[in-house]
Structure formats: C-alpha cells, structure tokens
Chain A
Amino acid sequence: MTVNGQPVTADVEPRTLLVHFLREHLRLTGTHVGCETGYCGACTVHVDGEPVKSCTMFAVQADGASVTTIEGLARDGQLHPVQEGFWERHGLQCGYCTPGMIMSSVALLDKNDRPTEEEIRHGIEGNLCRCTGYHNIVRAVEYAAARMRGEEPPAPDWEGGE
C-alpha cells in the first residue's frame, strides 16, 4: 500500500488491524485507538480518499490502497486549513480525538465547501470528543471552510475576541 505518498510493503498476520499496522509497524502513532469497535473515530484515516475507521479494517484489506494519516495532511510544512482552524479556534484540548476529528472534517469539507452548522455536526458525529463539547470544533471547521473558500473566517466568540 501507499501511506502518505510513500510505498510500503510488509508481511503481517491476517488479523492485524490497519490501525495497529500503522501505529506499531510503521510507527505512525498520530492515528489513535479509542475503542476498537468503530464507534469513537479516533482512528479515522483516509483510504483512497474516503474516511475509514482504521480499527474496523484489517491491514491486508488495505493492500494496494492509498492511505493518508494525520501525519500526511500538512504539505511542505504548511498546515492544512482544518489543522489551522483547530489551532485558531481552540478545537482541541487533550488532543486525543483530534487526528481522527481532523481527518473526518477534511473529508466533510472535500464534499461540501459551505456546510451549515447542522451539516458540520452531522458530518463529524461519528467522531467522539469528551473535552470540547464540540462547540469549538464546529467553529474550527467553519474557520477552515471559510479559508478554503478564500474568505475571511468568522471572528471567535470568546470574550475579548482575537
């Protein structure tokens, strides 16, 4: 398979999960494991451009696929607008759900560059966050959507502003 643009070849046990392959064989530890049951979304990566919970997939199922993890999102040292949005709008606290949340948000914006708040909320409902109450994650995605459209992002809503 190709991971973040680099070809990767390995022999693995058939039962090895894709997330364990990424984390333990390739040492790409930015993809996290939160529940092993496909519910929390912390392990979300892109497989052939689609968001996939990598704990629900065996590594061998990704044979020949192109996989993008959080480590492959920034290009030439430039943060992806979604990464920038999470930083600018305090879209993360402990950071554990963040890589998966960012990967899902990127997939959402790839399909819809002008999502409403409700569309954002439904677009990321497969990713659980326990720290932020999602408020600032929604603001982060709104920020990124504006940036990706070349527009000025909405101002932050905390007292005192920027």
Chain B
Amino acid sequence: MATTSVMGGAVRRREDPALIRGMGKYTDDFAPPGTLRVAFLRSPVARAKIIRLDTSRAKAMPGVVAVYTHDDVEHLGPLVAQVPVGKLRPLLAAGEVNHVGEAIAMVVAEDRYLAQDAVEAIEVDFDVLPAVVDLRKAASDEIIVHEELGTNVLHTWTYHGYWEALGLEDQTPLIDEAMQRPDAVVVSIDMVNQRLIPVAIEPRSVLAEYEPGYGRLTVTSSTQVPHALAGAIATQLGMHQRDVRVIAPEVGGGFGSKLNVYNDEILVSWASMQLGRPVKWTETRREAANSTIHGRGWVGTATLVGTRDGQFLGYKLEAIADMGAYSQNFTVAIPLLGLWIASGQYKMPTAFKVDCVVTNTMTTDAYRGAGRPEAIYYLERAIDAYAREIGMDPLEVREKNFWQPDEFPATMGCGFALDSGDYAAATRRLREISDYEELLRRRDQARAEGRLVGIGIGSYVEVCGFGPAILADIGFSWSAYGQPSAFNGSGLVRVNPDGTATVIIGTGPSGQGHKTTWAQIVSNGLGIPIENIRVHHGDTETSPMGIGTFGSRSIAVDGSATYEATQKVREKAAKIAAKLLEAAPEDIVFADGRAHVAGSPDRGVDWSEIAAAAYQAHKLPEGVDSGLEETIVWTPSNATWPFGTHLAMVEVDPETGNVEILEYYAVDDCGNQINPMIVNGQVHGGIAQGVGQALFEDAIYDEDGNLLTSSLVDYIIPTAADLPSFKLAHTVTPTPVNPMGVKGIGEAGTIGSAHTIVNAVVDALAPLGVKHVDMPLRPRRVWAAIQEARA
C-alpha cells in the first residue's frame, strides 16, 4: 500500500489560530438580526398521562411569538430514525410523557430570558403512572412502557438468528461442550456497564433561517452529521433536499451525542418556516443531561471457559441493554457494534445475547465507542478473572490466545473478517515501554509494605471505518434520512488558478483536526505546501455528498476518497505539465509547490501555471478536459479493525477507598498515521473518557425515574487533577482495505481503558479477596468493597 513521507508529520493544526484567539464560530455565536429564541417545557416526571395542558397565559406574555404543542406538529409524525425498532419519539409529547426531560411544549420569544419566563407560565397537570427504570424489571415486562408494543424487549441480538442470512451457526453448543471438559475452568461475573452522559462541553444549539422568498431553509447546527441532518429535515418536513442546507460550523465536541438527529432540530426548522424569521435554540446543561442521548447502560454476565494452562475454549456474553423510552437514530442497533467485536483479539467460539429493553429514561444511542466499550469490558474483565483463577499472568494469557499475524484476514464467529493485526507486537511494545517486569516488582514491593497497589491490563479490538455496503441492508443505512448509504465517504480536490488548493469533504468533525490531516493528504499527493491548502467541511450545499464524523470513520472512508481524488488531480496535472515542459507525463515529479522533469529540477512549472493551463482548452493535451478538480465518492470493502493493549498501575487508599492512577501506558495500532500529534491527542481524550467511566461517571435515575445527575456537580467528569500524564506508543499494522492503510483512532482510547482501570483496581484489592467491583469505582464503593472483604 502506498504510504509516503509527508504522512507521519506532527503538523501544527490549521484549526487552532482562530480557536486560541476566541475567533472560532460555534452555532450559538451566530445571531442574525431578528432571531427568535426558543425554550422548551420539559417533563418533570418519568411517566404520566398529560391531563391538562394550557398555554394561554404563556402565549399572552409580552415578547412571546408562539407556543407550540403536539397538536401543532402531529401532522409531521414522530422523529425520523435510522433503525425504527421500538417507539419513535413524538416531536412534542403526545398526551403522555415517558421520561424526565421529554419536551412537552415549545416557546418562541424575542429573547431567551422571555422564552424561559413563558415556559414557567405554561400550566400542565399530570396523572403520574409507575415508571420502570431497573433493567431486569423492565425485561420482565411487569410494567410495559408502551402498551401498544406488548413488551419492553424490542430486540435480541445474537450471532445466530438475525445473522442466519450470513450462514452463521450458533456456537453455544461448542462452548457448552467445552464446559463439560474435565480440565475446564469456568469463570462467570455479573457486571454493570453503567449509563453515561456524553457531556460535550459545547451544549447543542440549532439556528434555522427560512427565506420565504426563495423557499430555502438554512440550518446551522452543532451536529456531527450535516448531510444526514439535511436529509432528515427534508424527509420530516416534506421538503426537497435541494431546498435544505445544513451548516455545521465549529462543533464543540460530540462523542456521538451530536450524531443523532433531534426533535429540537426539526422543530426549530419548522418554526422558522412558520414564522418566517430566524429561530434559535441552545440547550442548557440540564437539558444536555436529560434530553441529549445517553450511552452504555448494560447489565449482564460474562462467562469464559478455558483450560488450566490458559487456553481459551469459549466465551458467552448475556446482557440487557437499556434503550431508554424512545428509539432515535441507531438506538437498538448500538449493541450490534458490540456483537461484532465480542470475541476481542482472541480466537475462540463465542456466543452473544443482548436484549434491548425500554425504560422510562432518556434514549440511549452512540456514545464514544458505542457498544464496543461495553462488549470489550465484559470480555476483558472475564479474562482477568480467569487469569487470576488459574494463576497466570494477565498479559501472558492474552498473548497465548491472540489471533496470529499469519491468520489475517481472520473470520470471527460474528462473520466479519478482521482486516489485519499483530496483536502480540502491541503487547511486546507495551512490555518494553512500561518495563513490565519492573512494574510487577514495584507492585509486589508495595504490597509487601501493606499498600493496595495493582496493575491492570486491558486489550481491545474495535471496528470502525464501516463497510462493506451490505451493512446498509441490515439496518445501518441512512435511508430514513433520504440518504443512500452509511458507508460512502467523499472528497473534492481543486487546484485553483493561483496554485493553491481547495479541499471539500463530506464529513462533520468536532475537534478531530480534519483541516490539518486532510491538508497533509493533499500536500503529500500534489507537493503543494500545506499552508497553500484550505480544507472545508460541514456545509451540505458546497460539499460532495457525505455523512458525517462518527465511528472513527472519517480518515478511513472520507480520507480514502480524498486520497483518490488527489491521485486523479495529480495524474491530470502530470499530463498538463508534461505538455508545458515538453516531456512525458510519467517523467513529471511534484515537489515544493511545482512540477518538474525527473532529473532536471530546473525544467519545471509552478502549480499556478499548471492550473491556469487547465482552464485554457488550447493549452491542454489532446483528450484532457478543462479544469483541475476531482470528486471521489468512496465505499470501503470492509471495516477497519484497530487494536491495542493498555496498562494501568493504581493505588487504593484503604482508609478512604480513593483510587489514584500511578501510571498509564497505552500501545495502540491504528495502521498508518498521518499526524501522530493528532493521533496521540485522540488517544489521550479517549482514555480520559474511559477513566471517567471507570472511576467517576454515572447517569443515575432513581426508581421513580428522576435523573439525579443532571448537572456537572452531580455528574462528575474527570478534571486535570484526576488524571495522570499518559505514556503512549504505537505499532503500525496497515490495513489492506484502503489506499493509505489507515484505520481510525477516535474511539480506541475509550474502548481500551475502562476495563484496564477496573482490572488494576481489582488487582490492588485482590490480596483482600475482592473479585469484582462495579463501575464507577468511587471512593465510597471501593471502601465498601474493602470493608466487606475484611468482614
């Protein structure tokens, strides 16, 4: 695969000069003259019939332009969703509410303070019904949330069943057989992978501007998926896609939460069309907690069976996953992502059964990792328990069961083939950078001194850069949003007559540095200096058809499209330069912003001359069309499968239960790297979110469905003082499925870290006999585990 030198440069980000000077523009920074502001009345109760809703007092307040309820928007139907399994969300509550935070009424007013005042003036009476929050209780159907569905269990994901179309066989009999072997060691742990709130620091915001004269709607939104949102708005409002433009300006973090299309985005768009004025809504932090999607939320049992000498014989995961009250974008499909990587880096029969159940809580959907951190957590915790049971080193037991480099592409039980990997190379590197033997010695010495110090290992494989297109046929298409497929990426490369290059991509980043990485790709291909290249994204009217930035997909898919477009521009430019220089196209070399004849650097032309000639037909070689611009829409033949192994060393304070991370090492392999600085940054942030889940974060609903963690005081994300510096290294195993050999890195850190921390804490407590503590490992919970073990 082609991998060349400019790839791999830690180029400073092109995004930063605006952002560090406070000159970046986020959605809420836009305020066209006459913009109306929106506030929502949201349900304070988890489950109730609405028996009276009176907006008359609110409507009469000065500065209030409109107050809308379900009756006004019923004709638009429920919020469109990609995977319409379950009950879809009404745009505004339809006579009942099913979770705290559900939008009941929408106020549009001249300013945000007045809108909020009017919300307070809406009168609503509820007939409160019993809510169901506990997952096992929900799965029992003792209380059915949506009676018309007849059950709370929306779907059950297994390897067989849904996958029979792919010719897969249920591997459960193999595992059951293994359990009967005389030398079988079986470990089984019940675990909670708790519900989380994504907490992008920028609250979601949407501004809609309808121009009645032109019949055109422009929506600026803090979204990861501008094209998908434009399609969804058009679909929901019965408009043509040509008439809807979505702009995603700077987006202040997403982590999956802005991959959804939300009812507020539809309602604000619709209101702007009703009123003929710009309308804007920006969520409060409380709304970000109770009405932007949540992630995770599994309870389940992981069972690993192996021999006494460390050979895995099979693995079973049975879990219940929380869907929340309504299905939105991918909701029910999220556990499927876990299914694909449930067997991790290991070759063994695997069975997977996850029930998707409804509760009276906010919808769950994709949060960084989306199904994969959950599945990997269960697997890797079970492996740790098994290693402890047979008295084998946890790194060694993993290495013993890895797929070997010569087995790739390796077809797993789920039917997918791992593209490429050298899993033991990553653990060898981890041993080196951590000086593993020395760490073990330090731990043992600390233990001898009576301290609770532990080392945790966590491996992972993940799946990203989604393809092949067959996935579109099993629920992952974007057809509900009027999109053809989830698996295309796009890139447009244009060389301007002044020799600079314009690059336009169909993604919608939220901090991943696309303006820099993509400039590197194009600079590498054309020899145009990076500072002469500008990358645009996030405007559906100017960019080629795309989807967005999620699932660690942009570099593998849209990056490949841009790479291919660059190659096409290069081929054409070589022909033009060859004519200008009276040489053969194959002898043209591009470097330092110009083209020259190989071996004769003096015989050259600047890109500006090539580009100028490209627009003057009489200067073109025969058979070459005018212009110097190429667009590629690219579809992957397979997903990519990044992997790695992490190590944490922690110390637990026996008096308080506080966990301190002493060391954190990570070796990740995302294939070739274009910008190692950006890759490291993605891993750092990913680890922080995994550590957040392991130690702090917990979206807690009480049994009546009240969200107890709706502010950042109650929902604790890590601060700088909670985390150590991370020690990172990488191995490089290029993927064969795309031209640059790149895999994606956005979610890897999160998928690799939560279990690493928990494994370390359990190792620290192992001398006391503690075998498992559920996340988050807050001091009180750890302290209680210590007390219980000692008692």
Q: Are B10 and A133 in contact (CB under 8 A)?
A: no
B498 part of interface (Cβ distance < 8 Å): no
In residues 256-289 of chain B, which contact A (Cβ within 8 Å)? 282, 284-285
Q: Are B285 and A130 in contact (CB under 8 A)?
A: no
- Given A13-B113, A135-B726, answer yes or no on A88-B22 (Cβ-Cβ < 8 Å): no
- Which residues of chain B come closer than 8 Å to A74, judged between CB atoms? 21
- Which residues of chain B come closer than 8 Å to A120, judged between CB atoms? 720
Choice from B253, B511, B720 contacting A138 with Cβ under 8 Å:
B720
**In the docked arrangement, what's the CA distance between A9 and B85, Å?**
56
- Which residues of chain B come closer than 8 Å to A133, judged between CB atoms? 684-689, 718, 723, 726, 749
Binds A, one of B26-34, B140-148, B550-558: B26-34
- Which residues of chain B come closer than 8 Å to A34, judged between CB atoms? 201-203, 285
Q: Are B113 and A70 in contact (CB under 8 A)?
A: no
In residues 668-683 of chain B, which contact A (Cβ within 8 Å)? 676-681
Q: Are B10 and A102 in contact (CB under 8 A)?
A: no
In residues 197-214 of chain B, which contact A (Cβ within 8 Å)? 199-203
Q: Are B253 and A96 in contact (CB under 8 A)?
A: yes
- Which residues of chain A come closer than 8 Å to B29, judged between CB atoms? 23, 29
Q: Are A96 and B17 in contact (CB under 8 A)?
A: no
Point out which of A36, A73, A83, A95 has the most chain B C-beta atoms below 10 A from its C-beta. Answer: A95
Q: Are B15 and A159 in contact (CB under 8 A)?
A: no
- Given A34-B203, A162-B10, answer yes or no on A90-B253 (Cβ-Cβ < 8 Å): no
Q: Are B712 and A93 in contact (CB under 8 A)?
A: no
A33 part of interface (Cβ distance < 8 Å): yes
Q: Are B285 and A36 in contact (CB under 8 A)?
A: yes
Q: Are B26 and A96 in contact (CB under 8 A)?
A: yes
Choice from B26, B686, B711, B720 contacting A137 with Cβ under 8 Å:
B720
- Which residues of chain B come closer than 8 Å to A132, judged between CB atoms? 681, 684-685, 688
Q: Are B201 and A86 in contact (CB under 8 A)?
A: no
**Contact string, A83-105, partner B, CB cutoff 8 A, digits 1/0?**
10011101011111111001000
Q: Are A32 and B202 in contact (CB under 8 A)?
A: yes
B13 part of interface (Cβ distance < 8 Å): yes
Q: Are B16 and A131 in contact (CB under 8 A)?
A: no
Q: Which residue on chain B has the smallest CB distance to residue A80?
A: B20
B56 part of interface (Cβ distance < 8 Å): no
Which bracket fits the contact residues of A? 35 or more
**In the docked arrangement, what's the CA distance between A34 and B202, Å?**
6
Binds B, one of A57-65, A121-129, A145-153: A121-129
If over half of A's interface residues share one DSSP class (helix, strand or loop), that class is named, otherwise mixed; here it is loop
B725 part of interface (Cβ distance < 8 Å): yes
**In the docked arrangement, what's the CA distance between A117 and B723, Å?**
11
- Which residues of chain B come closer than 8 Å to A24, judged between CB atoms? 31
Q: Are A95 and B723 in contact (CB under 8 A)?
A: no
Q: Are B20 and A83 in contact (CB under 8 A)?
A: yes
Q: Are A160 and B10 in contact (CB under 8 A)?
A: yes
In residues 290-335 of chain B, which contact A (Cβ within 8 Å)? none
How near does chain A come to B638, taking the closest CB pair, in angstroms?
A: 27
How near does chain B come to A110, taking the closest CB pair, in angstroms?
A: 18
Q: Which residue on chain A has the smallest CB distance to residue B510?
A: A94
**In the docked arrangement, what's the CA distance between A107 and B113, Å?**
32
**In the docked arrangement, what's the CA distance between A42 and B252, Å?**
11
Q: Which residue on chain A has the smallest CB distance to residue B725?
A: A135
- Which residues of chain A come closer than 8 Å to B679, judged between CB atoms? 158
- Which residues of chain A come closer than 8 Å to B12, judged between CB atoms? 87-88, 90
How near does chain A come to B178, taking the closest CB pair, in angstroms?
A: 40
Q: Are B712 and A40 in contact (CB under 8 A)?
A: yes
B719 part of interface (Cβ distance < 8 Å): yes
Q: Are B512 and A93 in contact (CB under 8 A)?
A: yes
How near does chain A come to B254, taking the closest CB pair, in angstroms?
A: 8
Q: Which residue on chain B has the smallest CB distance to residue A93?
A: B511
Choice from B16, B19, B113, B713 contacting A15 with Cβ under 8 Å:
B113
In residues 8-47 of chain B, which contact A (Cβ within 8 Å)? 8-10, 12-13, 15-26, 28-29, 31
In residues 35-51 of chain A, which contact B (Cβ within 8 Å)? 35-37, 39-40, 42
- Given A94-B251, A117-B725, answer yes or no on A83-B21 (Cβ-Cβ < 8 Å): yes
Choice from A88, A94, A117 contacting B201 with Cβ under 8 Å:
A94
- Which residues of chain B come closer than 8 Å to A90, judged between CB atoms? 12-13, 677-678, 680-681
Q: Are A70 and B22 in contact (CB under 8 A)?
A: yes
B773 part of interface (Cβ distance < 8 Å): no
Q: Are B285 and A87 in contact (CB under 8 A)?
A: no
**In the docked arrangement, what's the CA distance between A16 and B721, Å?**
32
Q: Which residue on chain A has the smallest CB distance to residue B205?
A: A33
**In the docked arrangement, what's the CA distance between A136 and B688, Å?**
12
Q: Are A160 and B676 in contact (CB under 8 A)?
A: yes
Q: Are A130 and B253 in contact (CB under 8 A)?
A: yes
A161 part of interface (Cβ distance < 8 Å): yes
- Which residues of chain A come closer than 8 Å to B16, judged between CB atoms? 86-87, 92, 95
**In the docked arrangement, what's the CA distance between A5 and B726, Å?**
40
Q: Which residue on chain A has the smallest CB distance to residue B16?
A: A87
Q: Are A130 and B717 in contact (CB under 8 A)?
A: yes
How near does chain B come to A14, taking the closest CB pair, in angstroms?
A: 11
B96 part of interface (Cβ distance < 8 Å): no
**In the docked arrangement, what's the CA distance between A122 and B66, Å?**
47
- Which residues of chain A come closer than 8 Å to B686, judged between CB atoms? 133
B250 part of interface (Cβ distance < 8 Å): yes
A71 part of interface (Cβ distance < 8 Å): yes
**In the docked arrangement, what's the CA distance between A55 and B22, Å?**
17
- Which residues of chain B come closer than 8 Å to A37, judged between CB atoms? 285, 711-713
**Contact string, B488-524, partner A, CB cutoff 8 A, digits 1/0?**
0000000000000000000000111100000000000
- Which residues of chain A come closer than 8 Å to B425, judged between CB atoms? none
Q: Are B712 and A39 in contact (CB under 8 A)?
A: yes
In residues 712-764 of chain B, which contact A (Cβ within 8 Å)? 712-713, 717-723, 725-726, 728-730, 749
- Which residues of chain A come closer than 8 Å to B719, judged between CB atoms? 121, 125-126, 128, 134
**In the docked arrangement, what's the CA distance between A140 and B539, Å?**
32
- Which residues of chain A come closer than 8 Å to B28, judged between CB atoms? 29, 33
**In the docked arrangement, what's the CA distance between A42 and B28, Å?**
14
How near does chain A come to B713, taking the closest CB pair, in angstroms?
A: 6
Q: Are B201 and A31 in contact (CB under 8 A)?
A: no
A54 part of interface (Cβ distance < 8 Å): no
How near does chain B come to A153, taking the closest CB pair, in angstroms?
A: 14
Q: Which residue on chain A has the smallest CB distance to residue B285?
A: A35
Q: Which residue on chain B has the smallest CB distance to residue A13?
A: B113
B255 part of interface (Cβ distance < 8 Å): yes
**In the docked arrangement, what's the CA distance between A41 and B308, Å?**
53
A3 part of interface (Cβ distance < 8 Å): no
Point out which of A33, A117, A125 has the most chain B C-beta atoms below 10 A from its C-beta. Answer: A33
The 14 sampled A-B contact pairs (Cβ below 8 Å) are A33-B28, A71-B22, A83-B21, A90-B13, A92-B19, A92-B511, A94-B202, A102-B20, A127-B720, A130-B200, A130-B201, A131-B253, A131-B681, A134-B723
Residues of A within 8 A of B (CB): 13, 15, 23-24, 28-37, 39-40, 42, 69-71, 73-74, 79, 83, 86-88, 90, 92-99, 102, 117, 120-122, 124-138, 156-162
Residues of B within 8 A of A (CB): 8-10, 12-13, 15-26, 28-29, 31, 113, 199-203, 250-253, 255, 282, 284-285, 510-513, 676-681, 684-689, 711-713, 717-723, 725-726, 728-730, 749
* Given pairs A96-B250, A133-B718, A156-B10, 19 additional interface contacts (CB within 8 A): A32-B202, A32-B252, A34-B202, A40-B285, A70-B22, A71-B21, A83-B20, A83-B21, A90-B681, A93-B253, A94-B252, A96-B26, A96-B202, A99-B22, A122-B720, A127-B720, A131-B253, A136-B684, A162-B10
Closest 8 CB pairs of A and B: A30-B22, A96-B252, A94-B511, A133-B688, A95-B19, A70-B22, A93-B511, A133-B684
